[in-house]
Chain A
Amino acid sequence: MKKITAVIRPDKMENVKHALEEIGCKGMTVKDVKGRGIQLGVTESYRGRDYKVDLLPKTEIEIVTRDEEVENIAQRIIETARTGDIGDGKIFISPVEEVIRIRTGETGDKAI
Chain B
Amino acid sequence: MSAVLNTGDTAWMLISTALVILMTIPGVALFYGGLIRRENVLNTIFLSFVSFAIVSILWFVYGYSAAFGADVWGLIGTIANPFFSGVVESNTLSSYAPTIPTGLYAIFQMTFAAITLALISGAVVERMKFSAWLAFIPVWFTLVYLPVAHWMWGGGWLAQMGALDFAGGTVVHVNCGMAALALVLLLGARKNSRLLPHHMGYSVIGTGLLWFGWFGFNAGSALGASNLAVSAMIVTNISAAMGMLAWMLMDKIKTGKPTLLGALSGAIAGLASITPAAGYVSTTSALIIGFVSAICGYYAVSYIKPLLGYDDALDVFGIHGISGIVGTIAVGLFASPFINSATTGGLIFGQTHLLGVQILAIVVIGVYSFIMTLAIGKVIDKFIGLRVSDEDEIRGLDINLHEESGYRLS
Contact = CB atoms under 8 A, between A and B. Distances in A.
B392 interface: no
B195 A47 contact: yes
A53 B254 contact: no
Interface residues of A, number: 9
Interface in B212-242: none
A51 interface: yes
B315 interface: yes
Interface string A50-62: 1101000000000
A48 B301 contact: yes
B91 interface: no
B402 to A, nearest CB: 25
A49 to B, nearest CB: 6
Interface in A32-65: 44-51, 53
A48 B297 CA distance: 11
Given A49-B302, A49-B306, A44 B251 contact: no
B194 interface: yes
Contacts of B315: 47
Interface of B is mostly: helix
Contacts, number: 37
B202 to A, nearest CB: 15
A46 B257 CA distance: 11
B195 A51 contact: yes
B196 A53 contact: yes
A48 B307 CA distance: 13
B317 to A, nearest CB: 13
B259 A45 contact: yes
A45 B301 CA distance: 13
B48 interface: no
A50 B255 contact: yes
B196 A48 contact: no
B196 A49 contact: no
A48 B194 contact: no
Nearest to B194: A51
B306 A46 contact: no
B185 interface: no
Contacts of A50: 255
B250 A45 contact: no
B257 A48 contact: no
A3 to B, nearest CB: 22
A47 B196 contact: no
Contacts of A46: 195-197, 259, 261-262
Interface string B191-205: 000111100000000
B230 to A, nearest CB: 33
Contacts of B254: 48
A51 B195 CA distance: 8
A48 B197 contact: no
Given A48-B254, A49-B301, 15 more contacts: A45-B255, A45-B257, A46-B262, A47-B195, A47-B261, A47-B265, A47-B298, A47-B315, A48-B250, A48-B251, A48-B301, A49-B195, A49-B302, A49-B306, A51-B195
9 contacts: A44-B196, A45-B251, A45-B255, A46-B197, A46-B261, A47-B315, A48-B250, A49-B195, A50-B255
Across the A-B interface, the 10 shortest Cβ-Cβ residue pairs: A48-B302, A46-B195, A45-B255, A47-B301, A51-B194, A46-B261, A49-B302, A48-B298, A51-B196, A48-B254
